[in-house]
C-alpha cells in the first residue's frame, strides 16, 4: 500500500538504511583486509553510527516517538525503542574503544574476535530497529497525521540531528 503523507519521512530515513552496509563491510574487512583498508572500513562503520544513526535516534525521541504517543494517546509508548537506542549507543562506545585498541596495537586481525560480534550484533540490532519503526510507526503516522504535521516532524528531525538552531 502506498504512503498517504509519510513519504518525506520515509525518504529522510533512507540514509539510515543505506548506511547499514558499512557495518557488514567493516566486519568482513576486520578479519580479511590489509591493515589500512580494515581501519578505513572500521572508521566508516563508526562514522555511520556516531554521525548518522545515533544523532537521528536522539532526535526521534522528540519527534517520531512523541507523534506516536500523540496518535496512541499514551505516554512513553516507544519505551522499548528508546531502550534499544541506549543499547546501540553503548555498543557503539564499545566498538569505538575496540577500534582504538586495534589501531594502537597495529594489528586489526587479532581484534577480529572482539570486533566481529560487535559489528554483526550492531548490524542485526540496527536493521531490526529501523525495520520495526518502518513497519509499526510509519503506517500509524500515515493514518493519523496531516501532511503539514509530517513536514514538521521531518523538519525538526533534520534540524535536531544536524544540531542546528530553530528558525523563527
**Residue 113 grid coordinates:** 574476535
Residue 148 as a binder of other proteins (CB under 8 A): the answer is: yes
By CB under 8 A, residue 130 contacts other proteins = no
Q: Judged by CB under 8 A, which of 22, 63, 84, 92 binds other proteins?
A: 63
Rounded to whole angstroms, how far apart are CA atoms 42 and 47?
9
Stretch that binds other proteins, among 16-24, 34-42, 93-101, 159-167 (CB under 8 A): 159-167
From 27, 30, 59, 118, residue interacting with other proteins (rule: CB under 8 A): 59
Q: What are phi and psi of 9, to 5 degrees?
A: -70, -40
Q: Which residues, including other chains, have CB under 8 Å from residue 86's CB and lie 6 or more apart?
A: none
CB atoms within 10 A of CB 73: 7
Q: How far is CA 11 from CA 71, 77, 112, 118, 148, in A?
A: 21, 24, 34, 28, 16
14 or 75: whose CB is closer to other proteins?
A: 75
Counting contacts by CB under 8 A, is residue 159 touching other proteins? yes
Stretch of 8-16, 32-40, 46-54, 65-73 lying at the interface with other proteins (CB under 8 A): 65-73
Minimum distance, C-beta of residue 39 to other proteins, in the bound complex (Å): 30
Cα 131 to Cα 147: distance, rounded to the nearest angstrom: 22
User: Which residues in this chain contact other proteins in the complex, by CB under 8 A?
Assistant: 58-59, 61-63, 65-67, 69-73, 75-76, 144-146, 148-149, 152, 155-156, 159-160, 163-168
Amino acid at each position: 500500500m502506498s504512503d498517504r503523507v509519510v513519504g518525506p519521512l520515509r525518504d529522510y530515513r533512507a540514509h539510515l538504511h543505506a548506511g547499514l552496509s558499512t557495518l557488514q563491510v567493516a566486519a568482513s574487512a576486520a578479519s580479511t583486509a590489509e591493515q589500512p583498508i580494515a581501519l578505513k572500513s572500521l572508521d566508516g562503520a563508526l562514522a555511520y553510527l556516531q554521525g548518522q544513526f545515533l544523532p537521528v535516534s536522539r532526535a526521534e525521541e522528540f519527534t517520531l516517538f512523541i507523534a506516536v504517543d500523540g496518535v496512541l494517546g499514551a505516554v512513553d509508548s516507544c519505551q522499548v525503542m528508546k531502550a534499544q537506542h541506549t543499547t546501540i549507543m553503548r555498543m557503539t562506545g564499545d566498538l569505538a574503544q575496540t577500534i582504538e585498541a586495534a589501531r594502537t596495537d597495529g594489528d586489526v586481525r587479532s581484534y577480529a574476535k572482539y570486533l566481529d560480534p560487535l559489528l554483526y550484533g550492531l548490524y542485526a540490532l540496527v536493521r531490526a530497529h529501523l525495520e520495526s519503526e518502518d513497519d509499526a510507526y510509519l503506517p500509524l503516522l500515515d493514518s493519523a497525521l496531516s501532511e503539514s504535521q509530517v513536514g514538521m516532524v521531518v523538519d525538526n528531525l533534520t534540524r535536531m540531528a544536524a544540531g542546528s538552531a530553530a528558525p523563527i
